[in-house]
Structure 1
Amino acid sequence: MSSGFTNHFAPVAAAYRDYRPHYPDALFAWLAQQCERQQLVWDCGAGSGQASVGLAEYFDKVLATDASAEQLAQAPPHERINYRTASPAASGLANACVDLVTVAQALHWFDLPSFYAEAHRVLHPGGVLAVWSYGNLRSGDTAVAGALHHFHYQVVGPYWPPERQHVETGYRQLPFPYPAELAPAFTLTAHWTLEQLLGYLRSWSATARYQAAQGEDPVERLARQLLPIWEDPWRRLEFRWPLALLVGRKPLPPCD
Protein backbone atom coordinates (compact mmCIF):
# COMPACT_ATOMS: atom_id res chain seq x y z
CA MET A 1 0.00 0.00 0.00
CA SER A 2 1.22 3.42 -0.89
CA SER A 3 1.77 6.42 1.36
CA GLY A 4 1.63 8.84 -1.59
CA PHE A 5 -0.17 9.11 -4.91
CA THR A 6 1.51 7.80 -8.03
CA ASN A 7 -0.65 8.13 -11.14
CA HIS A 8 0.11 4.79 -12.79
CA PHE A 9 -2.90 4.95 -15.09
CA ALA A 10 -2.80 8.44 -16.61
CA PRO A 11 -0.95 7.15 -19.73
CA VAL A 12 -3.53 4.39 -20.25
CA ALA A 13 -6.71 6.14 -19.06
CA ALA A 14 -8.54 5.72 -22.39
CA ALA A 15 -7.59 2.03 -22.65
CA TYR A 16 -8.74 1.53 -19.05
CA ARG A 17 -12.12 3.03 -19.93
CA ASP A 18 -12.56 1.05 -23.14
CA TYR A 19 -11.14 -2.36 -22.33
CA ARG A 20 -11.49 -3.16 -18.64
CA PRO A 21 -14.04 -5.94 -17.95
CA HIS A 22 -17.42 -5.03 -16.51
CA TYR A 23 -18.43 -5.99 -13.00
CA PRO A 24 -21.45 -8.29 -12.78
CA ASP A 25 -24.75 -6.58 -12.09
CA ALA A 26 -25.42 -9.19 -9.40
CA LEU A 27 -22.59 -7.67 -7.35
CA PHE A 28 -24.26 -4.25 -7.18
CA ALA A 29 -27.70 -5.76 -6.50
CA TRP A 30 -26.26 -7.76 -3.60
CA LEU A 31 -24.45 -4.72 -2.15
CA ALA A 32 -27.66 -2.69 -2.26
CA GLN A 33 -29.44 -5.45 -0.37
CA GLN A 34 -26.85 -5.24 2.42
CA CYS A 35 -27.63 -1.57 3.04
CA GLU A 36 -30.49 -0.32 5.18
CA ARG A 37 -30.80 2.69 2.87
CA GLN A 38 -29.87 3.19 -0.78
CA GLN A 39 -29.39 6.95 -0.73
CA LEU A 40 -25.67 7.69 -1.13
CA VAL A 41 -22.56 5.72 -2.09
CA TRP A 42 -18.98 6.92 -2.02
CA ASP A 43 -17.08 5.07 -4.75
CA CYS A 44 -13.46 5.83 -3.86
CA GLY A 45 -10.74 5.30 -6.45
CA ALA A 46 -13.44 5.28 -9.09
CA GLY A 47 -11.09 5.57 -12.07
CA SER A 48 -13.21 5.96 -15.18
CA GLY A 49 -16.40 4.90 -13.43
CA GLN A 50 -16.50 1.13 -13.99
CA ALA A 51 -18.19 0.52 -10.63
CA SER A 52 -19.84 3.93 -10.28
CA VAL A 53 -22.21 3.35 -13.19
CA GLY A 54 -23.29 -0.03 -11.84
CA LEU A 55 -23.89 1.40 -8.38
CA ALA A 56 -26.02 4.22 -9.83
CA GLU A 57 -28.59 1.64 -10.88
CA TYR A 58 -29.29 0.81 -7.23
CA PHE A 59 -28.55 4.00 -5.26
CA ASP A 60 -29.99 7.48 -5.48
CA LYS A 61 -26.61 9.23 -5.61
CA VAL A 62 -23.02 8.18 -6.18
CA LEU A 63 -20.01 10.29 -5.30
CA ALA A 64 -17.19 8.93 -7.49
CA THR A 65 -13.77 10.23 -6.46
CA ASP A 66 -10.29 9.56 -7.76
CA ALA A 67 -6.93 11.25 -7.34
CA SER A 68 -6.40 11.01 -11.12
CA ALA A 69 -8.18 13.75 -13.04
CA GLU A 70 -7.12 11.99 -16.26
CA GLN A 71 -9.09 8.88 -15.38
CA LEU A 72 -12.16 10.76 -14.18
CA ALA A 73 -12.17 12.67 -17.47
CA GLN A 74 -12.84 9.35 -19.22
CA ALA A 75 -15.88 8.50 -17.06
CA PRO A 76 -19.34 8.58 -18.68
CA PRO A 77 -21.70 11.31 -17.47
CA HIS A 78 -24.63 10.08 -15.42
CA GLU A 79 -27.41 12.03 -13.74
CA ARG A 80 -26.92 10.25 -10.40
CA ILE A 81 -23.10 10.34 -10.35
CA ASN A 82 -20.99 13.25 -9.12
CA TYR A 83 -17.38 12.83 -10.24
CA ARG A 84 -14.82 14.66 -8.11
CA THR A 85 -11.02 14.70 -7.96
CA ALA A 86 -10.14 13.88 -4.35
CA SER A 87 -7.76 11.77 -2.32
CA PRO A 88 -8.98 8.69 -0.42
CA ALA A 89 -8.29 10.55 2.83
CA ALA A 90 -10.45 13.60 2.01
CA SER A 91 -13.82 12.86 0.42
CA GLY A 92 -15.38 16.22 1.27
CA LEU A 93 -18.45 14.42 2.64
CA ALA A 94 -20.24 15.19 5.89
CA ASN A 95 -20.04 12.90 8.90
CA ALA A 96 -22.19 9.76 8.93
CA CYS A 97 -23.96 10.52 5.63
CA VAL A 98 -23.02 7.53 3.47
CA ASP A 99 -24.79 4.18 3.20
CA LEU A 100 -22.02 2.36 1.34
CA VAL A 101 -18.33 2.98 0.64
CA THR A 102 -16.83 1.00 -2.23
CA VAL A 103 -13.32 0.57 -3.60
CA ALA A 104 -13.06 -1.36 -6.86
CA GLN A 105 -9.60 -2.59 -7.89
CA ALA A 106 -7.87 0.31 -6.13
CA LEU A 107 -7.44 -0.37 -2.40
CA HIS A 108 -3.86 -1.56 -2.86
CA TRP A 109 -2.86 1.95 -3.99
CA PHE A 110 -4.22 3.67 -0.86
CA ASP A 111 -2.66 4.77 2.40
CA LEU A 112 -4.95 2.49 4.38
CA PRO A 113 -5.00 4.12 7.84
CA SER A 114 -6.06 7.50 6.45
CA PHE A 115 -8.60 6.01 4.05
CA TYR A 116 -10.14 3.74 6.66
CA ALA A 117 -10.44 6.69 9.04
CA GLU A 118 -12.24 8.69 6.36
CA ALA A 119 -14.53 5.80 5.45
CA HIS A 120 -15.43 5.31 9.12
CA ARG A 121 -16.15 9.02 9.48
CA VAL A 122 -18.53 9.27 6.53
CA LEU A 123 -20.38 5.96 7.00
CA HIS A 124 -23.52 6.13 9.06
CA PRO A 125 -23.72 3.52 11.85
CA GLY A 126 -24.51 0.19 10.25
CA GLY A 127 -23.22 1.41 6.88
CA VAL A 128 -21.23 -0.96 4.70
CA LEU A 129 -17.64 -0.89 3.45
CA ALA A 130 -17.01 -3.12 0.43
CA VAL A 131 -13.66 -3.48 -1.36
CA TRP A 132 -12.79 -5.84 -4.16
CA SER A 133 -10.15 -6.80 -6.67
CA TYR A 134 -9.71 -9.18 -9.58
CA GLY A 135 -6.43 -10.81 -10.50
CA ASN A 136 -5.20 -12.60 -13.58
CA LEU A 137 -7.63 -13.37 -16.34
CA ARG A 138 -8.32 -17.03 -17.08
CA SER A 139 -8.85 -18.65 -20.46
CA GLY A 140 -10.01 -22.14 -21.33
CA ASP A 141 -7.73 -22.09 -24.39
CA THR A 142 -4.47 -23.57 -23.10
CA ALA A 143 -2.29 -21.96 -25.79
CA VAL A 144 -3.72 -18.50 -25.13
CA ALA A 145 -3.51 -19.03 -21.37
CA GLY A 146 0.16 -20.00 -21.65
CA ALA A 147 1.02 -16.95 -23.75
CA LEU A 148 -0.78 -14.64 -21.31
CA HIS A 149 0.97 -16.20 -18.32
CA HIS A 150 4.38 -15.62 -19.94
CA PHE A 151 3.46 -12.03 -20.84
CA HIS A 152 2.23 -11.26 -17.32
CA TYR A 153 5.10 -12.78 -15.37
CA GLN A 154 8.09 -12.75 -17.71
CA VAL A 155 7.65 -9.86 -20.15
CA VAL A 156 6.01 -7.12 -18.07
CA GLY A 157 6.45 -8.90 -14.73
CA PRO A 158 9.42 -6.77 -13.59
CA TYR A 159 7.39 -3.61 -14.26
CA TRP A 160 4.47 -4.27 -11.92
CA PRO A 161 4.40 -1.77 -9.04
CA PRO A 162 5.02 -3.42 -5.66
CA GLU A 163 1.41 -2.81 -4.58
CA ARG A 164 0.24 -5.25 -7.27
CA GLN A 165 1.17 -8.18 -5.01
CA HIS A 166 -2.00 -7.52 -3.01
CA VAL A 167 -4.12 -8.14 -6.10
CA GLU A 168 -2.30 -11.45 -6.61
CA THR A 169 -3.20 -12.49 -3.05
CA GLY A 170 -6.81 -11.31 -3.26
CA TYR A 171 -6.27 -8.63 -0.57
CA ARG A 172 -5.81 -11.37 2.05
CA GLN A 173 -2.66 -9.67 3.37
CA LEU A 174 -4.22 -6.22 3.71
CA PRO A 175 -5.78 -5.07 7.00
CA PHE A 176 -9.53 -4.46 7.08
CA PRO A 177 -11.16 -2.24 9.72
CA TYR A 178 -14.36 -4.24 10.39
CA PRO A 179 -15.14 -7.91 10.90
CA ALA A 180 -15.48 -9.43 7.45
CA GLU A 181 -18.96 -10.71 6.58
CA LEU A 182 -19.76 -13.67 4.37
CA ALA A 183 -20.22 -12.69 0.72
CA PRO A 184 -21.18 -14.68 -2.38
CA ALA A 185 -18.61 -15.56 -5.01
CA PHE A 186 -18.74 -13.25 -8.04
CA THR A 187 -16.91 -13.60 -11.35
CA LEU A 188 -16.25 -11.11 -14.13
CA THR A 189 -16.79 -12.60 -17.58
CA ALA A 190 -15.97 -11.24 -21.03
CA HIS A 191 -16.16 -12.65 -24.55
CA TRP A 192 -13.44 -10.88 -26.46
CA THR A 193 -11.92 -10.66 -29.89
CA LEU A 194 -8.15 -10.54 -30.15
CA GLU A 195 -8.26 -6.74 -30.48
CA GLN A 196 -10.25 -6.42 -27.26
CA LEU A 197 -7.83 -8.66 -25.37
CA LEU A 198 -4.86 -6.63 -26.60
CA GLY A 199 -6.60 -3.41 -25.56
CA TYR A 200 -7.08 -4.82 -22.06
CA LEU A 201 -3.40 -5.72 -21.81
CA ARG A 202 -2.49 -2.16 -22.80
CA SER A 203 -4.54 -0.89 -19.84
CA TRP A 204 -2.17 -2.57 -17.37
CA SER A 205 0.09 -0.33 -15.30
CA ALA A 206 2.99 -2.74 -15.96
CA THR A 207 2.51 -2.42 -19.72
CA ALA A 208 2.67 1.37 -19.49
CA ARG A 209 5.80 1.20 -17.32
CA TYR A 210 7.47 -1.27 -19.72
CA GLN A 211 6.73 0.97 -22.69
CA ALA A 212 8.06 4.05 -20.90
CA ALA A 213 11.27 2.23 -19.97
CA GLN A 214 11.90 0.28 -23.17
CA GLY A 215 10.43 2.63 -25.77
CA GLU A 216 8.34 -0.10 -27.39
CA ASP A 217 4.90 -1.61 -27.00
CA PRO A 218 5.26 -5.17 -25.61
CA VAL A 219 1.72 -6.01 -26.69
CA GLU A 220 2.73 -5.84 -30.37
CA ARG A 221 5.05 -8.80 -29.92
CA LEU A 222 2.37 -10.76 -28.10
CA ALA A 223 -0.14 -9.95 -30.85
CA ARG A 224 2.14 -11.60 -33.43
CA GLN A 225 2.37 -14.64 -31.19
CA LEU A 226 -1.38 -14.87 -30.60
CA LEU A 227 -2.60 -14.26 -34.14
CA PRO A 228 -1.84 -17.79 -35.49
CA ILE A 229 -3.27 -19.30 -32.29
CA TRP A 230 -6.44 -17.23 -32.60
CA GLU A 231 -6.76 -18.08 -36.33
CA ASP A 232 -9.70 -15.73 -36.86
CA PRO A 233 -9.03 -12.39 -35.08
CA TRP A 234 -12.79 -11.80 -34.87
CA ARG A 235 -13.34 -15.05 -32.99
CA ARG A 236 -14.45 -14.41 -29.43
CA LEU A 237 -12.92 -16.29 -26.53
CA GLU A 238 -14.29 -16.35 -23.02
CA PHE A 239 -12.19 -14.85 -20.23
CA ARG A 240 -12.96 -14.95 -16.52
CA TRP A 241 -11.73 -13.09 -13.44
CA PRO A 242 -12.79 -14.37 -9.99
CA LEU A 243 -13.56 -11.46 -7.70
CA ALA A 244 -11.97 -11.14 -4.25
CA LEU A 245 -14.52 -9.28 -2.11
CA LEU A 246 -14.22 -7.97 1.46
CA VAL A 247 -17.35 -6.59 3.14
CA GLY A 248 -17.73 -5.15 6.64
CA ARG A 249 -20.10 -2.93 8.56
CA LYS A 250 -19.56 0.13 10.76
CA PRO A 251 -20.70 -0.86 14.26
CA LEU A 252 -23.88 0.56 15.71
CA PRO A 253 -23.41 2.75 18.79
CA PRO A 254 -23.90 0.92 22.10
CA CYS A 255 -27.35 1.09 23.67
CA ASP A 256 -27.67 3.25 26.78
Structure 2
Amino acid sequence: MKDLFSDNSALYQQARPSYSAEIIEQILNYVPEKGLAWDCGAGSGQFTSWLAPDFQQVLATDLSAAQLAQAPQVSNVRYLQAAAEESGLPDCSADLVTVAQAIHWFDFDTFYAEVKRVLKPQGCLAVIGYGLIEAEDPQLQQLIQHLYKNTLNGYWDAERRYIDECYQSIPFPFEELSVSDVQLNYCWSGRQLLDYFQTWSGLKHYIHLTGGNPLADLSAFFQRMPEQQYQVQFPVLLRIGR
Protein backbone atom coordinates (compact mmCIF):
# COMPACT_ATOMS: atom_id res chain seq x y z
CA MET A 1 0.00 0.00 0.00
CA LYS A 2 1.31 3.46 -0.89
CA ASP A 3 1.42 6.30 1.63
CA LEU A 4 0.68 9.41 -0.44
CA PHE A 5 -1.23 11.41 2.14
CA SER A 6 0.94 11.81 5.25
CA ASP A 7 2.19 15.18 3.97
CA ASN A 8 -0.24 17.93 4.92
CA SER A 9 -2.57 15.47 6.62
CA ALA A 10 -4.38 18.32 8.40
CA LEU A 11 -5.49 19.72 5.04
CA TYR A 12 -6.67 16.27 3.97
CA GLN A 13 -8.81 15.96 7.09
CA GLN A 14 -10.26 19.44 6.60
CA ALA A 15 -10.78 19.53 2.82
CA ARG A 16 -11.89 16.03 1.80
CA PRO A 17 -15.63 15.30 1.51
CA SER A 18 -17.33 13.41 4.31
CA TYR A 19 -19.83 10.63 3.76
CA SER A 20 -23.56 10.40 4.49
CA ALA A 21 -26.24 8.67 6.52
CA GLU A 22 -27.61 7.21 3.28
CA ILE A 23 -24.35 5.34 2.66
CA ILE A 24 -24.11 3.92 6.18
CA GLU A 25 -27.78 2.89 6.14
CA GLN A 26 -27.31 0.86 2.96
CA ILE A 27 -24.34 -0.92 4.52
CA LEU A 28 -25.96 -1.59 7.90
CA ASN A 29 -28.96 -3.21 6.20
CA TYR A 30 -26.68 -6.18 5.54
CA VAL A 31 -24.94 -6.33 8.95
CA PRO A 32 -26.97 -8.45 11.44
CA GLU A 33 -24.63 -7.96 14.42
CA LYS A 34 -22.84 -4.77 15.38
CA GLY A 35 -20.11 -5.79 17.77
CA LEU A 36 -16.90 -4.91 15.93
CA ALA A 37 -16.18 -2.98 12.74
CA TRP A 38 -12.74 -2.66 11.17
CA ASP A 39 -12.26 0.50 9.10
CA CYS A 40 -9.17 -0.15 7.00
CA GLY A 41 -7.25 2.67 5.34
CA ALA A 42 -9.12 4.98 7.72
CA GLY A 43 -6.97 8.05 7.06
CA SER A 44 -8.11 10.83 9.37
CA GLY A 45 -11.33 9.06 10.32
CA GLN A 46 -13.80 10.49 7.81
CA PHE A 47 -15.71 7.21 7.56
CA THR A 48 -14.77 5.88 11.01
CA SER A 49 -16.90 8.62 12.57
CA TRP A 50 -19.97 7.24 10.79
CA LEU A 51 -19.37 3.72 12.18
CA ALA A 52 -18.80 4.61 15.83
CA PRO A 53 -22.46 5.30 16.81
CA ASP A 54 -23.65 1.88 15.59
CA PHE A 55 -20.91 -0.50 16.78
CA GLN A 56 -19.74 -1.51 20.21
CA GLN A 57 -16.12 -1.25 19.03
CA VAL A 58 -14.40 0.12 15.95
CA LEU A 59 -10.81 -0.56 14.92
CA ALA A 60 -9.48 2.07 12.51
CA THR A 61 -6.16 1.30 10.84
CA ASP A 62 -4.00 3.24 8.40
CA LEU A 63 -0.44 3.14 7.14
CA SER A 64 -0.03 6.84 7.97
CA ALA A 65 0.43 7.82 11.62
CA ALA A 66 0.17 11.47 10.56
CA GLN A 67 -3.29 10.85 9.12
CA LEU A 68 -4.49 8.95 12.19
CA ALA A 69 -3.29 11.79 14.42
CA GLN A 70 -5.91 14.03 12.77
CA ALA A 71 -8.79 11.64 13.52
CA PRO A 72 -11.39 12.51 16.18
CA GLN A 73 -11.04 10.74 19.51
CA VAL A 74 -14.11 8.61 20.24
CA SER A 75 -14.44 6.33 23.26
CA ASN A 76 -15.25 3.14 21.34
CA VAL A 77 -12.73 3.69 18.51
CA ARG A 78 -9.17 2.37 18.62
CA TYR A 79 -6.69 3.77 16.09
CA LEU A 80 -3.76 1.64 14.98
CA GLN A 81 -0.97 2.30 12.50
CA ALA A 82 -0.95 -0.84 10.37
CA ALA A 83 -0.82 -2.03 6.78
CA ALA A 84 -4.07 -3.12 5.17
CA GLU A 85 -3.03 -6.76 5.31
CA GLU A 86 -2.28 -6.75 9.06
CA SER A 87 -5.29 -5.90 11.22
CA GLY A 88 -4.10 -7.89 14.23
CA LEU A 89 -7.70 -9.01 14.79
CA PRO A 90 -8.62 -12.58 15.83
CA ASP A 91 -10.19 -14.95 13.31
CA CYS A 92 -13.94 -14.52 12.75
CA SER A 93 -14.15 -11.45 14.99
CA ALA A 94 -15.46 -8.63 12.76
CA ASP A 95 -19.06 -8.00 11.79
CA LEU A 96 -18.08 -5.43 9.16
CA VAL A 97 -14.93 -4.39 7.30
CA THR A 98 -14.99 -1.05 5.51
CA VAL A 99 -12.56 0.67 3.15
CA ALA A 100 -13.35 4.25 2.18
CA GLN A 101 -11.52 5.86 -0.77
CA ALA A 102 -8.48 3.63 -0.23
CA ILE A 103 -8.87 0.13 -1.68
CA HIS A 104 -7.35 1.14 -5.02
CA TRP A 105 -4.00 1.49 -3.19
CA PHE A 106 -4.11 -2.01 -1.65
CA ASP A 107 -2.61 -5.33 -2.68
CA PHE A 108 -5.96 -6.96 -3.38
CA ASP A 109 -5.02 -10.61 -2.81
CA THR A 110 -3.40 -10.14 0.60
CA PHE A 111 -6.03 -7.68 1.80
CA TYR A 112 -8.92 -9.93 0.79
CA ALA A 113 -7.26 -12.89 2.52
CA GLU A 114 -7.14 -10.83 5.73
CA VAL A 115 -10.78 -9.76 5.29
CA LYS A 116 -11.92 -13.37 4.89
CA ARG A 117 -9.89 -14.37 7.96
CA VAL A 118 -11.35 -11.75 10.30
CA LEU A 119 -14.99 -11.61 9.13
CA LYS A 120 -17.68 -13.57 10.93
CA PRO A 121 -19.66 -16.00 8.71
CA GLN A 122 -22.44 -13.42 8.17
CA GLY A 123 -20.07 -10.45 8.20
CA CYS A 124 -19.74 -8.03 5.28
CA LEU A 125 -17.11 -6.06 3.43
CA ALA A 126 -18.12 -2.59 2.22
CA VAL A 127 -15.93 -0.74 -0.27
CA ILE A 128 -16.77 2.95 -0.49
CA GLY A 129 -15.37 5.67 -2.69
CA TYR A 130 -16.29 8.79 -4.61
CA GLY A 131 -15.62 9.69 -8.21
CA LEU A 132 -14.51 12.90 -9.87
CA ILE A 133 -16.13 16.04 -8.49
CA GLU A 134 -18.83 17.58 -10.71
CA ALA A 135 -19.87 21.25 -10.64
CA GLU A 136 -23.23 22.71 -11.67
CA ASP A 137 -21.55 25.90 -12.96
CA PRO A 138 -20.63 25.09 -16.61
CA GLN A 139 -17.40 27.14 -16.65
CA LEU A 140 -16.22 25.67 -13.36
CA GLN A 141 -17.05 22.18 -14.62
CA GLN A 142 -14.98 22.82 -17.75
CA LEU A 143 -12.01 24.02 -15.67
CA ILE A 144 -12.19 20.96 -13.42
CA GLN A 145 -12.33 18.63 -16.41
CA HIS A 146 -9.34 20.38 -18.00
CA LEU A 147 -7.33 20.15 -14.77
CA TYR A 148 -8.11 16.48 -14.32
CA LYS A 149 -7.86 15.21 -17.88
CA ASN A 150 -5.35 17.58 -19.49
CA THR A 151 -3.12 19.41 -17.03
CA LEU A 152 -2.63 16.41 -14.73
CA ASN A 153 -2.62 13.82 -17.51
CA GLY A 154 0.37 11.56 -16.89
CA TYR A 155 0.79 12.65 -13.27
CA TRP A 156 -1.79 10.34 -11.69
CA ASP A 157 -0.73 7.04 -10.14
CA ALA A 158 -1.83 4.03 -12.17
CA GLU A 159 -4.24 2.99 -9.41
CA ARG A 160 -6.38 6.07 -10.06
CA ARG A 161 -7.98 4.22 -12.98
CA TYR A 162 -9.97 2.09 -10.53
CA ILE A 163 -11.84 5.23 -9.44
CA ASP A 164 -12.36 6.33 -13.04
CA GLU A 165 -13.83 2.87 -13.62
CA CYS A 166 -16.18 3.35 -10.62
CA TYR A 167 -14.55 0.47 -8.69
CA GLN A 168 -16.23 -1.96 -11.09
CA SER A 169 -12.87 -3.27 -12.31
CA ILE A 170 -11.38 -4.09 -8.90
CA PRO A 171 -11.37 -7.79 -8.03
CA PHE A 172 -14.25 -8.53 -5.66
CA PRO A 173 -14.28 -12.20 -4.61
CA PHE A 174 -17.42 -11.99 -2.48
CA GLU A 175 -21.14 -12.56 -2.87
CA GLU A 176 -22.17 -9.12 -4.07
CA LEU A 177 -25.19 -7.46 -2.48
CA SER A 178 -27.42 -4.89 -4.17
CA VAL A 179 -26.99 -1.15 -3.54
CA SER A 180 -28.76 2.02 -4.69
CA ASP A 181 -27.14 4.98 -6.40
CA VAL A 182 -25.97 7.71 -4.04
CA GLN A 183 -24.18 11.02 -4.45
CA LEU A 184 -22.64 13.53 -2.04
CA ASN A 185 -23.84 17.12 -2.48
CA TYR A 186 -22.05 20.22 -1.21
CA CYS A 187 -22.11 23.99 -1.50
CA TRP A 188 -18.44 25.00 -1.39
CA SER A 189 -16.58 28.27 -1.72
CA GLY A 190 -13.70 28.77 -4.12
CA ARG A 191 -11.30 28.48 -1.17
CA GLN A 192 -12.79 25.14 -0.13
CA LEU A 193 -12.52 23.85 -3.69
CA LEU A 194 -8.88 24.93 -4.04
CA ASP A 195 -8.08 23.24 -0.71
CA TYR A 196 -9.75 20.07 -1.94
CA PHE A 197 -7.81 20.07 -5.22
CA GLN A 198 -4.58 20.44 -3.25
CA THR A 199 -5.20 17.02 -1.69
CA TRP A 200 -5.13 15.30 -5.10
CA SER A 201 -2.17 12.93 -5.46
CA GLY A 202 -1.84 13.79 -9.17
CA LEU A 203 -1.59 17.49 -8.36
CA LYS A 204 1.11 16.80 -5.76
CA HIS A 205 3.10 14.81 -8.34
CA TYR A 206 2.72 17.63 -10.90
CA ILE A 207 4.06 20.28 -8.51
CA HIS A 208 6.92 18.05 -7.37
CA LEU A 209 8.02 17.23 -10.90
CA THR A 210 7.41 20.57 -12.66
CA GLY A 211 7.36 23.24 -9.97
CA GLY A 212 4.37 24.76 -11.76
CA ASN A 213 1.01 25.87 -10.41
CA PRO A 214 -1.74 23.71 -11.94
CA LEU A 215 -4.44 25.67 -10.09
CA ALA A 216 -3.69 29.08 -11.66
CA ASP A 217 -6.73 29.07 -13.95
CA LEU A 218 -9.08 27.94 -11.19
CA SER A 219 -7.65 30.53 -8.76
CA ALA A 220 -8.24 33.28 -11.33
CA PHE A 221 -11.80 32.04 -11.87
CA PHE A 222 -12.60 32.15 -8.14
CA GLN A 223 -10.99 35.57 -7.65
CA ARG A 224 -13.62 37.16 -9.91
CA MET A 225 -16.32 36.50 -7.30
CA PRO A 226 -14.59 35.66 -4.01
CA GLU A 227 -17.85 35.24 -2.05
CA GLN A 228 -19.53 32.94 -4.57
CA GLN A 229 -20.64 29.47 -3.41
CA TYR A 230 -20.71 26.56 -5.88
CA GLN A 231 -22.96 23.52 -5.97
CA VAL A 232 -20.82 20.39 -6.44
CA GLN A 233 -21.49 16.65 -6.37
CA PHE A 234 -19.44 13.50 -5.97
CA PRO A 235 -20.83 10.23 -7.37
CA VAL A 236 -20.52 7.57 -4.65
CA LEU A 237 -18.87 4.25 -5.46
CA LEU A 238 -20.26 1.48 -3.24
CA ARG A 239 -19.83 -2.28 -3.32
CA ILE A 240 -20.94 -4.56 -0.50
CA GLY A 241 -20.07 -8.24 -0.29
CA ARG A 242 -20.51 -11.19 2.04
TM superposition outliers: structure 1 runs of 4+ over 3 Å: none
The aligned residue for residue 242 of structure 1 is: 235
The aligned residue for residue 85 of structure 2 is: 89
Alignment of 1:21-60 (within 5 A): 21-60=17-56
After superposition, give the CA deviation of every residue in 1:112-144 in whole Å (9 maximum; x if it has no partner): 000000000000001011102211111111000
In structure 1, which of residues 179, 185, 189 is the aligned counterpart of residue 175 of structure 2?
Answer: 179
Query: 2:189 & 2:33 partners in 1: Cα distance?
Result: 40
After superposition, give the CA deviation of every residue in 1:172-202 in whole Å (9 maximum; x if it has no partner): 1111011211012221111101100000000
Tell me the amino acid that sits aligned with residue 130 of structure 2.
Y
TM-score between both structures, scaled by the size of structure 1: 0.91
Determine helix, strand or coil for the equivalent of 1:71: helix
Query: 2:2 & 2:235 partners in 1: Cα distance?
Result: 26
Q: Following TM superposition, by how much is the alpha carbon of 1:87 offset from its aligned partner in structure 2, in angstroms?
A: 0.7
Q: Following TM superposition, by how much is the alpha carbon of 1:216 offset from its aligned partner in structure 2, in angstroms?
A: 3.9
Q: How many residues align structurally?
A: 242
What runs of 5+ residues in structure 1 fail to find an aligned partner? 250-256
Determine helix, strand or coil for the equivalent of 1:144: helix
The aligned residue for residue 142 of structure 1 is: 138
1:73 matches 2:69: yes
Tell me the amino acid that sits aligned with residue 238 of structure 2.
L
In structure 2, which of residues 197, 208, 212 is the aligned counterpart of residue 212 of structure 1?
Answer: 208
RMSD over aligned CA atoms reads 1.3
After superposition, give the CA deviation of every residue in 1:125-171 in whole Å (9 maximum; x if it has no partner): 01011102211111111000001100111112221100000000011
TM-score between both structures, scaled by the size of structure 2: 0.96
Alignment of 1:152-231 (within 5 A): 152-228=148-224, 231=225
What runs of 5+ residues in structure 2 fail to find an aligned partner? none
Identity %: 37
Q: Following TM superposition, by how much is the alpha carbon of 1:215 offset from its aligned partner in structure 2, in angstroms?
A: 2.3
CA contact under 8 A between 1:12 and 1:202: conserved in structure 2?
no
Q: 1:226 to 1:234 in 2, by over 3 A?
A: closer
The aligned residue for residue 252 of structure 1 is: none
